[in-house]
Structures are given as structure tokens and as C-alpha cells.
Structure 1
């Protein structure tokens, strides 16, 4: 039977819906949550059919999938459009899966959370409306308490346009994958983890007026979207405000708030930089990020093993474009801030010290966590950061300037999908972290 004449293997969403209740009682066996021994021995998470070895070529994948019925997947993302910087990342991942499968797998990307709102994504993955999704994990602190501990543990990492961004990005994924408690939380949601922790770039603080010392933050109303960000705001001397994403632009414009936390993608994409053009990051620590995760739902277990492996392996395309998105957005933010009369800078020494002091309290909370072994987590994050700092230096990904002149010294192409520049790094990440976690 030719590929054109085979009946479509649209995943049986009705059947997936009938199994949703069972998933609530019996957590989905998620490959990222298996022990290393389980993974090496095939594990209970292995799907039907023969797999392909790690490092398999495109031709090997296409041969392995040549006789399967066509597989159509729905992938929901929060990116507004395919043309946006983050949307280019999502599209690159989907296109890579289709290309490497030889058309056996097609991925329809649904932008702007158009199928299910953020609070219903888990339900849509369980009942089959979605097969893959960018889940806004940081919106679910009550269900993902161990994940929040990982999120908070990363404030110890330094900020910088290139090396700091890379190290933070890779350490966050590794620490999440390595936490059995975090993986168990995903399992409890009925999710299979492809990428446990991704952001739209390091979190920055965008303000309507210049902030040259902690006294400038006094009486400032600052929008936060994570509990630990409130601690950082209080350390600076400001007051925390909870404000919906859609209300932030008007809040800045009307001086209801004077600053907001956000990624470079958010600050530029939502137009906040037009009013809040004074953008700051701490130099020797980090603001708490607002991450999401790439996950699969109930339909995952219906896929042939080779298809699962391909989708997981093509996370290299997502990771590559996620970093590219971060670098493009950082350049755009620095340029936009200057254009609107401000700039993107490190905080002054006094304010950086205040953030460091606030971060110590956040880290103390991690150490005393009841959700996981906080001391071990912080040790693991430190060791991971040290190793990835050494690897980035070995591969030549080091900072040669500041945020304001980033575009001048950045050696990449300036495109979101910057294959030539970023592939050596992403290949190393696959070898060091992802390879042992692939299905099968």
C-alpha cells in the first residue's frame, strides 16, 4: 500500500477520551520519569514496534516509519503566530518532525492557545483534543510544587546575554529531568515530558522610569507572576502587584504599575517596552523565570516506538530555536529600549546586592522544602552550572560585551533558527542529557 493510499492514522481521540479517567487513577508511564536502568533495558514505557538507535539518520527514521499509517498530531503553543520569534521556534520543531519522518508524521501547530486556554491544557491532552502542547507550567504552582523548587533554585545562576542564557537554559532542563519528584508531578497530570523547562529568555525587569539605586524602587508598584518574584520585589523595596497579562500594557501606560517582570520576548511582543523602556537584569544572580514545558498527552502511548523516539530526538530543533529565539529577542529588546529612550542594563551594585539578599531567602526556602531534597537539588544545580560553564567556554560561547552592544559582538546569524552557530552546543546537550532519556 502506498503512503498516498494508506488510511490516515489520526490518533483515536475518542478512545483517548474514554481512557482519560483511567489516567487520573493510574499515572501514565512517562519515559522521562523512568530510572536509567529501566531506560537501558527498554523499560515499561516502551511502545509497540521496533525502535531506532540514538543518533539514527533521517534515512533510518524514514525507513522505520515507511509502513506505518499516517500520524496526524495537534500541537498547541502560546506563541501568537508562526511569524513571531517564539512561533518560529514552534514551527521549526513541527517541520523537523515532518521532514525526518518522511511525511509519515504531520504536526498541526495551533497558535495562541487556540484549542484550550492555559487552565484547560491538561484536560485537552487527556481527552485527545491535543496531542502535544506547550504547557504553562509556572501557572500551576499548586500542582507542581517540586517544579517550583527547581524554578526557584535557578536564581543562583548569573545573568548574561550569551553564556548566562545558555547555562541557565540547559541547567534548568537537566535539573528538572533529574528530579524524580518533578517527573512524578508531570506523571500525575497524565503528561509525557519532552522538555520539562523552557522559557522565552531570561527574565528582566522593565520600568517606566530609570532605576539607579534601591531608593528608586521605593513605592514602585511592580507586576509579578511568581511567588518568589514577590520576594525579589520586596528586597528591592518595591510592592508586588498581581495583574493579568492582557492588562499589563495599560497598567504601565496609566502608571498603575511602574515596572513588570517579563522575558525579552514578552516585553517586546506585548509592546511593554514602548512605555517601560528602562530594562534591568541582575549581574551575579537571576530573576525568577516563568517557564513552560513541552509535553505529550494520552495519545502518546498509541504511537509506534520509532515515532516516539523521533519526536523526542527532534527536541534538538526546538532547543536550538529556543536559544535562537532568546538571542533574537534580547537584541530586539535592547534596540527597542534605546529607541524609546531607555536601555537594557545590569542593575546597579546596590540593587544587585539587594536582589542577591532576597535570592538567599528564596534559596533557603528551597533548602527546607518538603517537596524534595532541597540541599541535593542546589548541589545538583551548582554542579550542572559548573559543567555547562566549562562546556560553553570549551565551545566558544562566551560573552564579549554587554546587553546594549550584544548585536555587535554576537557571532550568530541573528536568526531564530541558527543551525550553523548553535548545532555544536545542542548536539552536546543531546549527548550529555537527552540521549539516555529517549523512549525505549
Structure 2
């Protein structure tokens, strides 16, 4: 057997164990110059190659070991997309690609992940541009348009995890930003579900929210909470439960995934969410070290690209929806509720969102900011129609999601095949 080739750089110890932040729950192109996913050395395989064809192509490839990390503990819903993608790549490569997986962000804290991809501690991991807005202004500009997505639990999750990637791959400045930081984005943006208010008691009107402390993440969320009359507060999601119990905060602006992971749904079981008007998200991305990526043989690049259907599907099917189901159960068990905004609060949130879009249009995050917002709105509308045209179940409400939607009700391959065909395939390494 050929000697094993370790891609991870030697001599770098793992960082101390760290907790993932809410933003981590939140998340390379070759398309008319918008990115860099050029093929590596050696022979590749045709798109649509079977597992047997891939395994045959790997017969003469030296073993490769890659370092990655998961934001959650082993086997958690939060880490499912990573674990399933890793397993698929290992199987399809016939064991020629293997991963050393560190759990609970044991190698690098969320703010350090891009650095870890550059200094050799990690080869592939979830990156978080929103944590460093001055370093990733173009990425942040796109992220701050994310609230234009549909907020429903089924169609919204499918739509919101498609269109931002289409826009990102097509925007040269966003792709250049990744390249400048030594990163190859495999999935530029993924999220962990719709953002909503999770409160200790029902809060649906401006009067209910006036003066109440609300934990937030990011400048866009802060502006939205202020428009509702709330008082934004910075609280780590791991501390929200205690903060609500002690009355330090009245609500958390978070996804249900974060609520479940942070364990604070029982303390804040009253959710307020509108199906059309939403809050800004704090997504992450699934990214490779550029140095590592460019050192890989072409067939390895192609396999990891082709298996992104597993990552994309699992992020929704194994993370967003199970956490939504668990949250619905916890809400009922703790005498909570799912509510819509009253008319006055909804109007205030709509006004805040309009101002936020104007700020992106007039901002300097990208040279053609107006074009970025137009592209986001057009892509969001297109992908809403694409999702609606799929054979998906009728929309299910958040409050009874666990009772009315089960795993297997939707064949995720219908969705993942579509996004791979329309967004990822034309950027496949070759």
C-alpha cells in the first residue's frame, strides 16, 4: 500500500475546547471569474459517476487524511450535516479519504476558524464571515439581506438555503473575499432555520416588546429589535436560559435550533414569528483551506463537491426540522405558544427591513450594492417558485410540526438534485 499522505500540517496542537456560538448554528466557484475551484492534478470522473466508478478512480490515489471539526457533540443534530458528509466522502472514496473530526469546536472557536484553515489546524470547517464584518464586507452585505426569505418551516428552509448560495457564487467580490482569506467556499451560506422571538411570556405587540431586553447577534438584528421598541442585549446562547430565569433578558432573537441546543426553550417558550416578514439571520458557510484544496488530486475535489448534496440535505432534514420538532414539543410541555406579530409590530418590523435593504443598497460592502440587492431579491423569488413547484408536503405550522411532519414525508433528493443541478454543478472542479 502506498504511504499515507497527511494533508493536515504536522505539529499544530488542537485549541482548548470551546462552545459553539449561536452564529455557528446559524452558515468554490469557477463561474465567469467569480471564484476559484480549478481542478487538481490527475484524472477526474464525469459528473453523475456512481460510487463504484469513484472507488475505481481512487484505486491508485494515495490515502489522504483531513482535519475538520463539528460545532456540536458527536451524534448531535447540529453536527449531522458534517458527520454525514464525512461518512459519504469516506465511503465513496473507498476509504482513501479519511477525516479526523474534533467535536464541540475543540480545535478553533467560531471567530478563529478562518485562521485555523490558514495555519493548518483545520482543512475544512464552518466559517463565519458575519463575525468579522470588516474582513468580509461583501459577504456580510449579502447576509444582511437574508430576511427576505420565506419564513415557513418547510418551504422557507428549502428556499433560504438555496438562493443565497446562487447569489454568492455569482458575485465576484464575495468570491474574491473568500479567496483573499485563503478559503474555498463549498457551501458559502447555510442557516439553521428562521429567526424569531423566544420570550418568557407572549410578546406580539409594540407595547409588549417596548423596553424589553432581547438577546441579539449582529447589527441588522439589533436594528430590528430597536424598531420594535426592544432593548438589544449581547448574551451567549449558552447563557440565555439563566438570563431569562433571572430576568436579565425577556426574549432571545434566535432560531429554534439555537433554542434547543442552548436549552432555553423551556425558559422562553413563547415564540413570535411571521411567515413572510422575518429577522436577519446569522448563517455560516462550509469551507476548505485553499492551500489544502489545491494540493488535492482532481478526483478528490470532485468527490467532495459532488457529495455536497448530502451536506445540504442533511442541514435541513437532520438539523433544522428535528430541532423544530423538538422545540414544538418543548413549547407545549412548558405551556408556551407560537404567535404572529400584532399589526403594529409587524408594520414596524417591515419598516425596519425596508431600511436595512436601503442601507445595503447604499452601503460600501460591495461596489455594486444596488445590483447585489436586486440579485438577492430576484434569486429569492425564483427559488420560492422552484420550491413551490416541487412535490413537497403542504406547509405545516411550527406549533404542531412534530405531530404533522415526519422524516420521510419529503424525499430530499428531489430538492438536493435541483440545487446541485442549478447552483453547484456548473462550478464543479474540472
**Could you tell me the TM-score, scaled by structure 2's length?**
0.91
Query: Quick check: 2:196–2:254 contact (8 Å CA) kept in 1?
Result: yes
In the alignment, is residue 86 of structure 1 matched against residue 66 of structure 2?
Answer: no
Q: 1:411 to 1:332 in 2, by over 3 A?
A: closer
2-side partners of 1:56 and 1:435: how far apart? 13
Q: 1:44 to 1:314 in 2, by over 3 A?
A: closer
| Partner residue, 1:26 | none
The one of 345, 351, 366 aligned to 2:339: 345
In the alignment, is residue 359 of structure 1 matched against residue 353 of structure 2?
Answer: yes
| Partner residue, 1:62 | 55
2-side partners of 1:371 and 1:212: how far apart? 33
In the alignment, is residue 410 of structure 1 matched against residue 392 of structure 2?
Answer: no
In the alignment, is residue 229 of structure 1 matched against residue 221 of structure 2?
Answer: yes
| Partner residue, 1:252 | 244
In the alignment, is residue 310 of structure 1 matched against residue 306 of structure 2?
Answer: no
| Partner residue, 1:7 | 3
SS in structure 1 at match of 2:145: helix
Higher helix share: 1
CA drift at 1:44: 8.1
| Residues 28-427 of structure 1 mapped to structure 2, 5 A cutoff | 31-32=28-29, 34-36=30-32, 45-78=38-71, 80-297=72-289, 298-324=291-317, 325-372=319-366, 373-397=368-392, 399-410=394-405, 412-413=407-408, 421-427=411-417
The number of residues matched between the two structures is 413
Query: Quick check: 2:151–2:278 contact (8 Å CA) kept in 1?
Result: yes
CA drift at 1:36: 3.4
Query: Quick check: 2:153–2:193 contact (8 Å CA) kept in 1?
Result: no
Q: 1:101 to 1:346 in 2, by over 3 A?
A: farther
SS in structure 1 at match of 2:411: helix
Query: Quick check: 1:163–1:399 contact (8 Å CA) kept in 2?
Result: no
CA drift at 1:248: 2.3
1-side partners of 2:331 and 2:33: how far apart? 50
SS in structure 1 at match of 2:144: helix
Q: 1:256 to 1:405 in 2, by over 3 A?
A: same
Query: Quick check: 2:8–2:121 contact (8 Å CA) kept in 1?
Result: no
2-side partners of 1:215 and 1:48: how far apart? 63
2-side partners of 1:412 and 1:245: how far apart? 27
CA drift at 1:16: 11
User: How far does the alpha carbon of each residue in 1:100-139 deviate from its partner, in whole angstroms, 9 at most, with x for none?
Assistant: 1111111222111101222322222112111111123321
Query: Quick check: 1:16–1:126 contact (8 Å CA) kept in 2?
Result: no
Q: CA RMSD in A?
A: 2.1
| Partner residue, 1:28 | none
CA drift at 1:426: 0.5
2-side partners of 1:38 and 1:125: how far apart? 21
2-side partners of 1:388 and 1:134: how far apart? 24
Which deviates the most, 379-388 or 200-209? Answer: 379-388
CA drift at 1:159: 0.9
Q: 1:38 to 1:165 in 2, by over 3 A?
A: closer
Query: Quick check: 1:175–1:381 contact (8 Å CA) kept in 2?
Result: yes
User: How far does the alpha carbon of each residue in 1:10-36 deviate from its partner, in whole angstroms, 9 at most, with x for none?
Assistant: 11515999xxxxxxxxxxxxx42x333
1-side partners of 2:140 and 2:314: how far apart? 25
In the alignment, is residue 433 of structure 1 matched against residue 426 of structure 2?
Answer: no
2-side partners of 1:48 and 1:438: how far apart? 15
Q: 1:102 to 1:277 in 2, by over 3 A?
A: same
Query: Quick check: 2:244–2:250 contact (8 Å CA) kept in 1?
Result: yes
